[in-house]
Each structure stands twice: as C-alpha cells, then as structure tokens.
Structure 1
Amino acid sequence: MRRSPLIRRLMATTLPVALVLGSAGTTAVADPLYARNMSTYGLAGGIDTPTAETLPDGTLGATVSWSDYGRRSSVVFQALPKLTAVLRYSRVEGINDYRNDGYISDRSADLRWQVLDEQGWRPAVAVGLQDFLGTGVYSGEYIVATRTVTPSVRVSAGLGWGALAGKPRTIDSNDEGGTPNLDQWFRGGARPFASVSWQVNDRLNLVAEYSNNDYIAKYSNGAVFQQGEEPDSNLNLAAFYRFGGNYEVGLYTIGGNTFGAQFSIALNQREATYPSGLEKAPAPVRPRPAPQADPEGWSGSWAQDPTAQPAIQTALGDAMRKEGQTLESMALTANRAEVRLRNGRYISQAEAIGRTARLMTRALPPSVETFVITSTADGVPTSSVTVRRSDVERLENTEAGQIAAASALSDAPAGAPGLVRSEGVYPRFRWSIKPYVDLGIFSAEDGVTHEVGAEARASYEIAPGLILTGALRQRAFGNIDQRGPGIPGRRGEHYTPGEYEANPALETTPQGVPRVRSDTRMYTGNNDLVIPELTLGWYAKPAPAVYTRVTAGLLERAYGGVSTEVLWKPANSAFALGAEINRVKKRDFDQLFDFRDYEVTMGHVSAYYEFAQGFTAQLDVGKYLAGDKGATVTLTREFANGWRIGAYATKTDLSAEEFGEGSFDKGVTLSIPLGWVTGQPSRERVSADLRSLSRDGGAQLNVRDRLYDHVRDSHSVKLYEGWGRFWR
C-alpha cells in the first residue's frame, strides 16, 4: 500500500520517537500529567512553546494574553483525557490589511493528542497541530515530550515545524481561510524547542523556555511583516500564580525585550460550586405494613371503590408538585400503577423517576406491587420504567446500579388502558420576564459585540402535545447595531440599512447566492419591541418508537412558516433516524408580522448515535436555507451533570468563493445547566453558539424544541448515564 507523504513523515518522526520512549517505561501507573500553567496560546504549555501535559478531562478554560506582539483570547476544551482543542481569536500587531490599522484580527484553532502518558522513566509524548484552520499566522506542528524530573521540576523538549521552527508558512493573500493546510503539515524543516518549569509551591510556578518563534508573517504577494520587535534571544521567562483554585495570572518576557501578561480561568464541570446540590432531600421510602395490619389494603378490595383512584391521584399529584413534577395522568389497578410524569425541575430524568418512585410507596395501597413510571415531553410519552415495589423498598439504601438492574426500560405507547388525566393539568399557562444578553465573539471585523435587554416569554399548553409559544423582546443598550452586509470588493464597508432595504437586488450576492444569513445584522439594533418567536406546535407519537412534530408561525427572528419533523428513536437504542421538511419565508427586518419576498423549501434527513463517555454524533444531509445541498456533522459531549460541549461543520455544494471567508460553516456549542452554578435544581440552561462568521452557505433554520434532545432525556443511554441520581 502506497502511503501519503504526510503518513510517511509521521512514521519517520512521531511513531519512532513514541516507540523508543515507550520502551523505556515500566508497567507502573502514574497520575495524569496535568498542566501547571497555560501558555500564551491558551493550552497547557510553557510560555510560547507546547508541552505534553493535559488538563483534567472535561475542563473548559479561557486565556487572555497581552504583549507587544498582540492579544490572544483562547478557549480550551479537554475533549477527551488525551485530546485538547483550542479556539483562538487574536489581534496580531505589525500586519496591515484593508483597514490599514497596523494589526489584523485573526482566528485560529489547535488540536493536541497525548500519544503516551508518563509512566516510570518514560515521558509523556504529544503531537499537535497549531493554527491548522486559520490564515496561518501561527501555523505549526510539533512533537513534544514532557518528563517529571523531581516533584517540583518538569522538563519538556520537542521538535517544531512552521512558526515553532522560526520558519513561518507563506500565507495565500487570496485564501478565504477555514481549510486545513494539509500539504504543509510537518514540512519546511524542524527545529528543537524546550522548557523547564519549577513548581515553587502550590501557587507559584516559574518557567524558562527556548523558543524559535521570530514573529514574522510572510504573504504570497511578497509582503513581509514583523509582529512587534524582533526577539533579542531565544530565551523566554515567566512566572505564573494560581489563586482561587481555578484562576491564574502570569507575567512573561519574550526574548528579553518584550514583556507580557496573561489571565486564565479553568472550569472543570465535575467541580461545581455546590457539588451535592442544594435541593431538599427526597421523602424516604415508606415500607408497607404487615398484611395483618392492613388486610383490606393488601387484599385489593379498595380498587372496587370508585372514589379510591381520584383520592389517591390527587394526593400523589400534590406530593409530586412539591417536588417540581407534574402527574399528567394515572392508571391504577389493585396490583399495578402507571403514572405519567412531566419533569419540571431536575436536569437528570433519573432523579425525577427516583423521587416519584419514593412518593408512590407513600401514596399507594400495599397491594400495588408493580410501578410503571412513564416520562413525557411536550405532552408525549417517551419511555416507561417498570420496577417492583418490593425492589424499591429493599434497595433504597444500596447503590443505584442495583435498582437499575431490577428495573426495565421500554417504549411507552401513546395511550394506555385506564389512564385518567389529572385535574387542572390542561390547559396550562406559563410566563416569565427576564433579561437577555446576546454576545458576538471571535469576529475578525467587530471583535466582541453585545446587546442587552428584557425578554417576556409565555407558553399556553392547550392539550397534551398542543402548545402555543411566544416571546417579546425590548432592547435596552448594546453595540450590535443594524447594518447591511458588506459591499463586494470594498472590505470593511457595508451597505446602510436604507440602501439595503431600498434595493431588493442586493439580497442576492454577486455569486448568485441568496442572502439568508449574511444580512443577519439587519435583524439587530432595533430599539422598538420585536417578536423573535410566535408558534403553534403539535407533538404526537403515532407508533411506540416514532415521534412527530409540526410547528407553524414565526419560527425564528428571520423566518416564518411551517416546520415538520419525524423521529424514529427506540427507548433502548443508541441509534436514531429523523427527517425534517420546512417551508419558510423570510421575515421583514422589524421582526413583526410582515415578510419579504424570499421563500424556500428545505430540510434534511438525520442519523444520530450515542457513544460511550457522553458522546453523541449527528449527521444531517439535505438542502439548506440558500438552496445549497450538503451535510452537517456534529459531535457533542454531555456530562452526567448536564454540561454539553459540541462542535459542528457543514460543507455544501457551494464553492469556497461562493461561500466567502471561512470556506465552509463551522462552530462550537456550549450549554451549561443553571443548577450547576446555583446549586438549586433546574432544567434551565445557559447556551451559546460560538460562530465567527454569518455566511449563507450551510445555513440551518433555528427551530426550538426539535424532537431528538427532548426525547433522549428518558431513553437508555442518557437515562442510565444519570442513574446515579436515582436515590437523590
């Protein structure tokens, strides 16, 4: 088999080094080699050079560094115990672009894989790609080894290519960016780098390093830029001070003539402010009395009394309401009870199920032995957990795994014999008023932007599965102002809102692509009341493993119409299939009830798979808002406490020139449960979509309450990942 040049280079460098170092190790298992400080590039390292260290699995962090060479703002995520990913937004000094400001704003991304961890005499070894998706200002690759010499001293040494070797890549002046520079990886000649760190105490860490970076940028048009003053030497020095457990400040010098400072924060989702939460303890299981103490209850004769179920259902519903749960309906016989549960409080569905099971032992007569707890979402049953009451009584004070083994999970039918709807559950009206903050980050043109205001949101659940939802927003202040898209051929200049609205021809790019997202700023900066959403949704379950959704109205701030979806998702399967079709029309920029001329039918088919360690992969293939066709790949990791971090990329049949800067759509999603911060149980989340560009290619419709995320909460993979909270 003929290998590519890249594979041959890797086998000639990385693999032999790893094997030689690995042969010197022992079978002893060492603690993970966690970082002592963050580098100026925002990940575990020295100052400007990398190390083979990692962060604790699941850590999400950020670093801001300042020096004469520029400002770097980085977000780091330890996606796996050995895989580190970084997104970076930089102001690079000394380089001019169309704005002639003496600096450029640059976006870049890094990946690092720890090939070997430290064991015995064997050092940890890592391979990394630096700035492999950006314009290439920081582009470089490396192989690095790190060894703990004494408990307080660590030494790192490696080989670097590109900027790390002082041999910067030539940047294509016409490149749109966003594509991996595969043909340059591990090419251009390598040079060594090294660093030494001394952990003075549990807070102070001193670092010295040898670096080859000369901070020069070269362009294909012949321009050469020096990013600040050229370093006087290859020696860099730094002191880093950690405080509060999660925070770090640093002072450093590059080459002896340039000084800098940085601040870092690292949050590990497993280290919540209130690790055990502040929720009230659940009611304990109530053991049944002996048969001779309650012969009527054990005989089941009570079930013949027509007043028995209403009284029991009312008492159980009141108890569940105090736990933040809703008893939507109930079916009761002498030896079996099914409750249909709407979880309104707990991020883990297992906790809601466990607390309901405890309350059932307290509310039901002793003859009822079989508990069926059916979870619902948007009025639709999603799964049923069946457990014997005697197992609940017997296993209350054991580990949650034992009650999991004694339970059975199954698909829930849409209806069940004997189900009686609880009084007062439907119709149901809810509303809230709270502030909102819209942030824009990683924009090379605008930097960090913001808008702050108030949002009123309401929902009216007319019947099970039929929901009217709406929102009103009033802007208070911010620097996200209304403006038209960029003027072709005049970078940095934009159409005014008046020019854009007056000329409908501008709503198509010169390449013939409809402006479905590149005019997003026309929907911002409105000081009048706006309606971001007003929809009527119908959710149903026509078959045990099939779910449907139809949503009509003002679907999002830029589009209105009809969105339909079907999902096949068995309760005990890690695999799911879905399809979505939307017919939408573009809304007017005042975000009220008027529409513009553009309309499109678009949609996709989807495949989902849930892997171990909380990973979910999603593949969407279909037609997007601009009429382009392609696919979106999304990978999300969710932790047991509800944290979600994901990344996605979309490539369609639009060329890089038609798409524009960035070449294809990509971004990072982050969702943090509010309860992780406050300690109080809540299903509310703080979510963000970190996307540097609003482009027309690969644009999806933003519809709330798509089926998959609502359904999977009570299905096997996610339910059992959170099963440790069953007895909470």
Structure 2
Amino acid sequence: MFLWFRVIEQVMNQMLRPFLVFFIFFIPVTANAADFGTTGLIDIPSARMMNDGEFKIAMSRQTVADIYSLNYQITPWLESTFRYTIFNPDDVTGSGDNLFDRSYEIKLRLIRERRLFPQIAIGIRDVLGTGAWGSEYLVASKAFGPLDLTLGAGWGRLAERNAFSNPLTNIADGFETRSANIGRGGKVSFNNFFSGPDVGLFGGFSYELENWNTKLLVEYNSDSFRRERNLGTIPDASPISYGVEWEPAPGLAIGINRQQGNQTGFYISASLNTKAEAPRRSQNLVVPVSSNLAQEVIGAELNSWYGRLLVDVESAGMLLRSADVSSDFKTASFEISNQQYSLMADGINRFLTLAEIHLPREVETIEVILNEGGIRSNAVLYQRQFGDRQITWLASEDLIEIIPGSPIINPTTRTLYRIPNVTFGADVSTRLSLFDPDRPARYQVMLKTSAAADLGNYFSLYASYNWDIDNDFDTINRGANSVLPHVRSDIARYLKEGDTGLDSLYLQKKGNMGRDFYYRAYSGYLEEMYAGIGAEFLYSPFSSRLAFGLNLNWVKQRDYDKGFDLLDYSVLTGHVSAYWATPWYNYDVAVHVGRYLAKDLGATIEVRRTFDNGWVVGAFATFTDVSAADFGEGSFDKGIFFRVPLDQILPGNTRASYSNTIRSIQRDGGQSLQGFGTTLWYDLRPTRYDALNNNRLRMVPGA
C-alpha cells in the first residue's frame, strides 16, 4: 500500500505541477488513454479512435520512461499523437539511458467495426522522431458488450518477441532489414517502416464496469524493452501487464497498472471536444440605452432611431461605424465591427435583433457590412418579416444572403468616435514553454501591460510591456551551437535577460485596395526579437476557396534585454503565399514560398482546422536550402499549434484566446516573424464566405 502512495506522490511532484495551468482548458468529454497517448490499452495500441475533433493531453510514469503526449483526432478516421519522452526518469543506478525524445505517431482506421467484423487500424509509432520508439502495427478491436478485445501484429520494437517471419519480405527484399540506430530526428525513415525479419503479436482486452466508471485492462506486449534492458534501466520485462482505469468525471481518466512484471505505472489524461458548438450567451432582447456609453461617441442623438441603435449596439459589444438608408426607405445599410463575439454569426444575430427593435417598419432589407480590424470584408443581407409572416416567424437561413461588402460611399449617418481613442490593459499572464529538449515544461508568470490607440483612418498604435513576477528560465542550460545566424536559437538569452522588457511597440494600418484586395502595413518593434518595417497584401476573391498573398519585411534583431537597442544583424525577408479553404472538415491549407530570417530560401506547408467555437489546431513544416546537418537536431523546422477560445471558461462574450506553438526543437532554419507577414487571410477568416455561409441560420433573429 505504501508503494502506491509513493507512486502518486512522485507523479504529483514531478509530472502534474507544470501542467496544472494547462488543464484548466479541458472541458470533459470522453477519454481512453494508453501510456503512449494513443488510444489503446496500457502500452499497446488498439484499433479504437477518439471522437472526431477530440483533443487530449496525457501523462504517464513508469520506471522505463515518463511520457507526456498531446493527441488529436484529425478526422473520424485519422488519429495523431505528439509524444515527449524522458527515458529513465528515476535515474536508475547503472543505467546509461539519458535520452529526451520527441516523436509523432499517426493511426489510420482502415475498416469500421461492424456486427460481425472488427475495427481495423494501421499505425506508425515514430514518424519523425529518433526511432527510440520506432514501431509499426496493424491492429483489430472487437467489442462484445462490456468486453473489448484487441489483437495486433507489430514491426520494429513491437516485433522483439518475434512470432513469425515478416510476410512483406516476400514482396520486396527491402523489408528484410531494419536499422536499429537512434537518429537525430526530423527525418521520415521510410526504409524502416514495416521492415525487419520478424513480426510480433500483441493483444489484450478491457472490461468495463459501467456502474463504477471503471475499466479493467490486461495486455500482452510484444515489445521486450530490449533497449532499456541493455542500458540497465530494468533487469527484465514480462510481456504481461494489467491495470485499472477510472473515470472520475467525463473526460478525465486515471490509471494505475503493473507493467512488465517489475514496474508500477500511473497515468492521467484529460480531453475535450474541439467540435463542441460555440456557446451562445443568453441576453435580454432589449438592451437599455446607456448614457455612459454614449459619452464615447460625439453627438449621439438618443432621440433618433440611429442614436438609440448606436448606443445599444455599443453596449452589446460591437462598433456601429456608419449607416445609409436608401431613398425609398426600403433598405438600410450598416458597417459594423465585432468586438466581443467569438463567433461572428452571434455578433450579426445580436445586431439584427437590435435593428429589429429600433429600425422603422418601412425598412424591409438590412445590409450588414462587416469590418474586421479596419478591413471591410463581406456583407450579410437580411430580409425582415412583418405582418402574417411574423406570426409564423420563419427562422430560416433563406432570410440571410452573403454578398460582397461594398463601401458606403455617402453614409446618411457616420459615427464620430473620439480620436485618438486610447485603451489600456493590464493582467497577470503566463508564458508556457512545452516540451523543450531538456525539460517538459517551463513557465513565466508576468504582469502584462498594454495600450492601443486608434489614430483615425485605420491607423493604430500598439504597445505592450511585460513585468516578470516569476519564471524558471534560469534552468535553460542549452547553448546556441548553430552554424546559421542565430535568428531564433538565442531565445534563451531573451528569456533570461529580457524577462522584464518591451514586448512590442509598432504603428499599423489596415485597409482595402478595391474589391477583394486587402493590405496591412506596420513599423516598429514588432516582436520580442525583431524590429523593422513591412507590409502584407492579400487577394481573396469573394466566395472563392483560393486566395493569394505577398509580404515583404526588413527587420533588425533586437538586443537581448528587450529595450530599444538593436543588434547588427538585419535581413530582408518575404514570401509569396497560396491559401486554400478545403471543403473537408474545416481544414485550411497554406503554402508560403520565400526568404526566411536566416536568409535561407524555401517553403512552408501549413495545415490547420478551425471550428466555429474558436478552436484552432494545426501543424506546419518548413523546408529550405539549409541541409539537415547545418540545421542540426531535428533536421528541419516543424511543429504543431493550437488556440483555445476563452469564452468557454470565462463569463460573458469574449474573443480572447490562449495560443501555443510546440516545436520538436527551436533552431534557426526556416524561421519567420511571429505575428507578421502571413496572417491576413487567417485574420479575415471569421468574415470569409464559407465561414459565414455555414452559419446563416444562427444569424437570424429568434433562431
């Protein structure tokens, strides 16, 4: 019994503490985690998949390794896992294992389970890593009531308890041999996949005790842990493991197990559904007119319908910029900006609801022109209902039409905001660095102060300054050994010497250049490592899934203390971009070709999935003319990123979010400016034709 308490105590002290801040984002759904993060039993994978769009974080501990993982269900039939492994976490005496490993796994469902047929999946456990976990598998799972059986065939590590000869050697001689060397990571080892002289068999079962929210797990593992035994981490490894998994709350799973006959293991996972419907906050139909809000506007006439609408729209979290009423008084056009609503359709719904209250009945059609951050984008056309039609109230998407947004040339009324309009902000913020090469998590707690000034004509001035409260950046011991210009690898010096300092200070202008053409220009201290000047241009035709962009920037590297001084290094960087809004699962694809911060030439491929609720999950890879040897560990720049909308955990409506990017390692090849150069298309996504068209019903008042 004492052993179990010691295991739990170690896990709490060494594993969970760095991740407590991350767990607050996880809203319960379902969970079923293996130690490796991938859906499975204990160590072995199964053919099961998570729900489409499910995002899971998991941590496991045993003598062999601590494993931290992020798991995402890319599509209903494709599961992905990023895994960070600390081998020999207990520093076993005599063990020579000190590897910190990062790896990616993919699992593809081949056949869905049917009444008489199992679900079948195929997977690769280490696609881009060093090969420390290198293995591939073909696995089947079949449920019989609460009993779920799994049986699979494995290659690589999963063939160490060889069961039979590799049948693929009959197809090609190349399948006969497999490299056992641990590489530097970053390369796809095609020659190793499903190769080797033998294939192993693994299997097991789970039995669900439904009334107890508990599963009993038993498995036979064909991985003999030969590497760890040879290095002296464990003396021997039995193929049999067993354990119990408890789900104290939906989406939270805790497991304790006995593995390989000589290890006690523990894991915990939390998951949420990124596809969950965007929350809609209940609001009163009529918003009281606030004279306090009216003071921000020059000349607001509360005795006119426009004045009343203006102030109520402002109090609802939007800006009403201008309006025009046609000569026959049948059509009213408005240009608005969404300030608070995570989903643009909800902001439009709120505006149309208020317009229904305040507009004269003579107005039959309402045109809402969307202005996103100073850029006029598409528009929404809404047909009002009166008389007998209002009795049946057709909450139909047919009442909404998405059209190109045209400027209001001679507005009947224009809102005159005070210029300059300055806003200030201050909040306690965190910076979380995940899965560094020598530590799973580092943090900074800081007071983040910011200011934004609207200077008129869509010129804006932004500034932010960070005041350090606490951090553990002094634990960074890795030096920058890159043969390339240190455009990013000196980040540790910025974190240490500039833990308190100026984050950014820049002037920006956004706008339109005719129909379908957009621009963004900026100058100043753009991010923590670079200052300079640049511009981005975007051509995005109405209702087209394709768009094209161009950006050009001249920047100079900032001093490490994040003051106003600059270093000698400067570079001209820029890209030509192509964007594609795919028709599948809300995925967007982008390709950027050009020159990077280290003056290397190449291309970046980026894939991201964006949901109506504000969640974004994506991955990227950059390939340049820098060789794998010159790039260093990792071979090329790659990573995953996500954005968590905060309106799911904060009261009221907000567009605030938490974002993070996880790289296998931070090097200098293939690096771009952060937040500048290739952002316009994504910034305008809330007002894009497909994003609006998919939510027409949600815009209708009363829907």
Q: TM-score range by the shorter chain?
A: 0.7 to 0.9
Q: Residue in 1 aligned with 2:191? A: 183
- The amino acid of 1:208's aligned partner reads V
Q: How does 1:238-637 map to 2 (within 5 A)?
A: 238-270=243-275, 276-283=279-286, 311-333=304-326, 334-390=329-385, 394=389, 402-403=396-397, 405-418=398-411, 420-424=413-417, 426-481=419-474, 486=479, 488=481, 509=482, 511=483, 513-526=484-497, 529-611=500-582, 612-637=584-609
CA shift, 1:195, in A, is: 0.9
C-alpha contact 2:426 2:448 (8 A) present in aligned 1:
yes
CA distance in 2, matches of 1:665, 1:702: 14
Are the counterparts in 1 of residues 546 and 579 from structure 2 also a CA contact under 8 Å? yes
Q: Cα gap change, 1:395/1:592 in structure 2, threshold over 3 Å: closer, same or farther?
A: farther
Task: Indicate the residue corresponding to 1:663 in structure 2.
Answer: 635
AA matched with 1:709: Y
Deviation at 1:35, TM superposition (A): 8.1
Distance in 1, Cα, partners of 2:546 & 2:65: 46
CA distance in 1, matches of 2:468, 2:670: 29
In 1, the alpha carbon distance for the partners of 2:66 and 2:387 equals 58
Question: Which whole-Å CA distance do the structure 1 matches of 2:48 and 2:610 have between them?
Answer: 23
- 1:722 Cα deviation after fit: 3.6
Shift of 1:224: 4.6
1:339 positional shift: 0.8
Q: Residue in 2 aligned with 1:229?
A: 235
Within the candidate set 670, 679, 689, 1:716 is matched to 689
1:695 counterpart residue number: 667
Query: Aligned partner of 2:107: which letter?
Result: R
Q: Aligned equivalents of 1:344 and 1:307: distance in 2? A: 20
State the distance in 2 between where 1:554 and 1:638 align.
29
Which residue of structure 2 aligns with residue 162 of structure 1? 156
Gaps of 5+ in 2: 1-28, 163-177, 288-298
Q: Out of 653-662 and 359-368, give the one that drifted further.
A: 359-368
Q: Is the 8 A contact 1:279 1:681 kept in 2?
A: no
Aligned to 1:209: 219
Whether the 8 Å CA contact 2:41–2:204 is kept in 1: the answer is yes
Q: Deviations 1:28-77 (Å, cap 9, x if unpaired)?
A: xxxxxx98731110121011111100111111111111111111111111
1:117 matches 2:112: yes
Question: Is 1:86 aligned to residue 113 of structure 2?
Answer: no
Please give the alpha-carbon distance, in whole angstroms, between the structure 1 residues aligned to 2:258 and 2:386. Answer: 65
State the distance in 1 between where 2:200 and 2:475 align.
Answer: 49
Change (3 A) 1:679 1:244: farther
Residues 369 and 579 (structure 1 numbering): CA distance in 2 closer, same or farther, change over 3 Å? Answer: same
Within the candidate set 39, 46, 65, 1:44 is matched to 39
The alignment partner of 1:352 has SS state of helix
Matched residues in 2 for 1:619 and 1:535: separation?
27
Matches within 5 A, 1:70-149: 70-93=65-88, 102-149=97-144
Contact 1:672-1:686 at 8 Å conserved across structures: yes
Following the alignment from structure 1 to structure 2, what is the Cα–Cα distance between the partners of residues 605 and 448? 35
Q: 1:373 to 1:641 in 2, by over 3 A?
A: same
Deviations, residues 323-372 of structure 1 (Å, cap 9, x unaligned): 11110111123222111111011111111112211211222222222211
In the alignment of these two chains, the number of paired residues is 640
Task: Deviation per CA, 1:227-284: give whole Å up to 9, x if none.
Answer: 42321x3211111111111111111112322221111111123458xx7544424449
Task: Flag the 1:282–1:643 CA change in 2: closer, same or farther, 3 A.
Answer: farther
Inter-CA distance 593–140: structure 2 relative to 1 (3 Å threshold): same
* 1:391/1:595 CA distance change after superposition, 3 Å: farther
Tell me, yes or no, if the aligned pair for 1:375 and 1:384 is still in contact at 8 Å. Answer: yes
- Please state how far the C-alpha of 1:461 moved relative to its aligned partner: 0.8
Determine the structure 1 residue equivalent to 2:645: 673
Distance in 2 (CA, whole Å) between partners of 1:392 and 1:93 is 75
Question: What is the TM-score of this pair, normalised by structure 1?
Answer: 0.83
Assess, with a 3 A threshold, how the Cα gap between structure 1 residues 396 and 41 changes in structure 2: closer, same or farther. farther
Question: What amino acid maps onto 1:161 in structure 2?
Answer: W
CA contact (8 A) 2:324 2:408 kept: no
Q: CA deviation at 1:111?
A: 0.3
Which sits farther off after the overlay, 686-695 or 557-566?
686-695
Aligned twin of 2:166: none
Contact 1:671/1:685 (<8 A) preserved: yes
Q: CA deviation at 1:487?
A: 6.1
Q: Decide which of 198, 201, 204 is 1:192's aligned counterpart.
A: 201
Q: 1:652 aligns with which of 606, 624, 628?
A: 624
CA offsets 1:304-332 (integer angstroms, 9 cap, x no match):
xx999993321111111121111011112
> What CA deviation, in whole Å up to 9, does each residue of 1:420-460 have, x standing for no partner?
32032643222210112111111122331111110111110
- Deviations, residues 594-649 of structure 1 (Å, cap 9, x unaligned): 11111110110111111232111111111100010111111111122111111111
State the secondary structure of the residue aligned to 1:190.
strand
Match of 2:51 among 56, 59, 62: 56
CA contact (8 A) 2:461 2:507 kept: yes
Aligned partners of 1:80, 1:393: CA distance in 2, in Å? 45
Partners of 1:615 and 1:184 in 2: CA distance: 30
| Alignment CA distance shift 1:72-1:426 (3 Å) | same
Matched, 1:643 2:653: no
The answer for the alignment partner of 1:17 in structure 2 is none
Q: Corresponding residue for 2:655?
A: 683
Aligned position for 1:15? none
Deviation string 1:93-118 (CA, Å, 9 cap, x unpaired) is: 29999x99742211111100111111
TM-score by length of 2: 0.86
Instruction: Indicate if the aligned counterparts of 1:328 and 1:341 stay in contact, CA closer than 8 A.
Output: yes
Distance 1:625 1:277 in 2: 42
Is 1:172 aligned to 2:177, yes or no? Answer: no
Cα distance in 2 for residues equivalent to 1:712 and 1:360: 25
Deviation at residue 126 of structure 1 after TM alignment: 0.3
Whether contact under 8 Å (2:45, 2:139) holds in the other structure is yes
Distance 1:464 1:397 in 2: 44
Flag the 1:397–1:633 CA change in 2: closer, same or farther, 3 A: farther
The 1-side partners of 2:555 and 2:417 are apart by 36
Moved more, 313-322 or 385-394: 385-394
Q: Distance in 1 between matches of 2:585 and 2:462?
A: 34
Identity %: 27
- Distance in 1, matches of 2:391 and 2:369, equals 20
Give the secondary structure class of the aligned counterpart of 2:620: strand
CA 1:585–1:277 in structure 2 vs 1: closer, same or farther (change >3 Å)?
same
Between 1:647-656 and 1:260-269, the stretch displaced more is 260-269
